[in-house]
Amino acid sequence: MRELIPETPHVSTLVFEVPEWPGHLAGQHVDVRLTAEDGYQAQRSYSIASPPEDGAVALTVERLEEGEVSPYLAGEVRQGDQLELRGPIGGYFVWQAGSEPQRPVLLIGGGSGVVPLMAMIRHRHAAGAGTPMRLLYSSRSLEDVIYRAELDRLAGGGLAIVHTLTRSRPPGWTGYARRLDREMLAEVAWPVTLGAAIFICGPTSFVETASAGLVELGYPPESIRTERFGATGGTT
Amino acid sequence: MAFISRGFKGRRSSAADSSRLPPGQYLATGFPVLSAGPTPHTPLEKWSFTITGEVDQDRTWTWAEFQALPAEDITADIHCVTKWSKLGTRWTGVPVSALLEGVESAADYVTAFSDGGYTTNLPLEDLVDGKAWVAFRYDGQPLDPEHGGPARLLVPHLYLWKSAKWVRGLRLTLDDRPGFWESNGYNMYGDPWREQRYWGD
């Protein structure tokens, strides 16, 4: 690992130099495998945050206190440590700047679900693409917004960033201040007729709300790609 | 190549549980949801199940006809390729063998197809002899749409993406044709005990 970047109180980015990395697409993930001294192993998947144009592989990890792997990755790992990565994996939840350059892209992220979407935003920027892109990004509070400074910097020139803060807001906050709902989707999304490509990533309930809301607003289900996490939560 | 992750201890499951966990899996507490797109909601009056493809003639059941078929209670461990496993899950479903009864076919493979366009491929022999069901109840309740309701395929001995949610039929084929995830980097067969997650495993 080359670098550890604290993003928020609960989230860190780990930047790896990966020998013989075959390259990746924005939106893909890797499997991380940890091995304890007695040979016990644990594996988890993490989205890649860095764009294909970067030589390094950046993973942004939210520290889940009840988790087995994330407290180690976002707490124990130090510069110079080696980790086993496998990937890149996944060929569906991906966006390539050159493939449909004029087709608008709507990104909807909840919490650390922003990570694969950030790879797409960075890819758009690094490729110099003018593709219209919007990110609707739900966080608990302003200090929980991952990549906040970089998002502020990249916004403009066809990229719009819309935040909603669900739990606490700083004084003077004028943005959305509630959980994502259909009204918010209707205000942020492009008209259905523009045929946007839509990527949604976040906890299951968030993804269900966002995807069902867009379908009710008339977006074709096949234009909506989803990725969910919350492997230890969920309902039965 | 495995090397020690300095300071990593991990959280082991009990010995009884860990013998039921395939390599690289961990025990989930809830029931995670994974799907590639929005959850479809097909009304039961519009639902049907079809056996088609390399068959002497197509067979189709309405929801009422499907419900009249003999169903079984199943208790099974399930394993998702995203690493979580859930032990002892309880389902009710119609065995696929019952749906294939009397079907004449030279097919060796099956593509399961679902509302929303999802597909997955399996060898026919993995769907018969008490190995697979079309399940419509989970834990005594009608199957929730998020988990594949009204009915999903249940093939617990393979990774869970083979247990197609919102399944609407089986297309019998002579050769093995990659389905949705199988075209996107995931293994053609998907045996969790051999850790066949991705292409090349």
Confidence (pLDDT) at B15 = 75
Residue B58 lies in a domain: yes
pLDDT band, very low/low/confident/very high, at A149 (cuts 50, 70, 90): very high
- Whether A18 has a pLDDT exceeding 80, the answer reads yes
Mean pLDDT of the region A4-21? 95
Distance between CA atoms of residues A227 and B33, nearest Å:
10
Instruction: Give B52-71 pLDDT, tens digit per residue.
Output: 999 999 999 999 999 999 99
Q: How far apart, in Å, do the first and last CA atoms of chain A sit?
A: 38
Which residues does chain B have within 8 Å of residue A234's beta carbon, measured at their own beta carbons? 28, 30-33
pLDDT band, very low/low/confident/very high, at A231 (cuts 50, 70, 90): very low
B36–A212: do the CB atoms touch at under 8 Å?
A: no
Supply φ then ψ for residue A140, to 5 degrees. -70, -45
**Residue B18: which of A216, A42, A188 has the closest Cα?**
A42
Sign (positive/negative) of CA torsion B40, B74, A43, B123?
Answer: negative
> Å from B147 to nearest chain A CA?
9
> CATH number for the domain including B118?
3.90.420.10
A34–B26: do the CB atoms touch at under 8 Å?
A: no
Residue B23 lies in a domain: no
Domain count for chain B: 1
Three-state SS at A27: coil
pLDDT band, very low/low/confident/very high, at B34 (cuts 50, 70, 90): confident
Contact, B165 vs B114, CB < 8 A?
yes
Residue B21 lies in a domain: no
Confidence (pLDDT) at A235 = 29
Q: A-side interface with B, Cβ within 8 Å? A: 33-37, 39-45, 68, 72, 76, 81-84, 89-93, 204, 208, 211-212, 214-215, 221-222, 224-226, 228, 230-236
Residue B82 lies in a domain: no
pLDDT band, very low/low/confident/very high, at A55 (cuts 50, 70, 90): confident
B184–A90: do the CB atoms touch at under 8 Å?
A: yes
Q: What angle do CA A192, A194, A196 make, to 5 degrees?
A: 80
Contact, A211 vs B39, CB < 8 A?
yes
A236–B31: do the CB atoms touch at under 8 Å?
A: yes
- Whether B16 has a pLDDT exceeding 80, the answer reads no
Distance between CA atoms of residues A57 and B83, nearest Å:
22
> Which amino acid, residue A57?
V
> Of B10, B36, B183, which is closest to A68 when you measure between CB atoms?
B10
Residue B1 lies in a domain: no
Q: How many residues are given for chain A? A: 236
Mean pLDDT of the region A33-39? 92
Residue B162 lies in a domain: yes
Chain B, window 95-154: residues with a beta carbon less than 8 angstroms from a chain A beta carbon: 116-117, 138-139, 144, 146
For each of the domains in chain A, give its residue range(s) and CATH number, in order of start.
3-89 (2.40.30.10), 105-233 (3.40.50.80)
- Whether B2 has a pLDDT exceeding 70, the answer reads no
Which residues does chain B have within 8 Å of residue A94's beta carbon, measured at their own beta carbons? none
> Of B28, B40, B185, which is closest to A89 when you measure between CB atoms?
B185
Distance between CA atoms of residues B153 and B136, nearest Å:
9
Range of the domain at B107: 48-73+92-194
Worst-scoring range by mean pLDDT, A27-36, A63-72, B39-48?
Answer: A63-72
In this complex, is the C-beta atom of B12 within 8 Å of any C-beta atom belonging to chain A? yes
User: Which chain B residue is nearest to residue A211, measuring alpha carbons?
Assistant: B38
B3–A82: do the CB atoms touch at under 8 Å?
A: yes
> Of B23, B30, B117, which is closest to A233 when you measure between CB atoms?
B30
> Of A35, A45, A68, which is closest to B4 when you measure between CB atoms?
A35
Mean pLDDT of the region B129-157? 97
> Which amino acid, residue B181?
W
Mean of pLDDT over chain A: 93
**Residue A234: which of B192, B182, B82, B188 has the closest Cα?**
B82
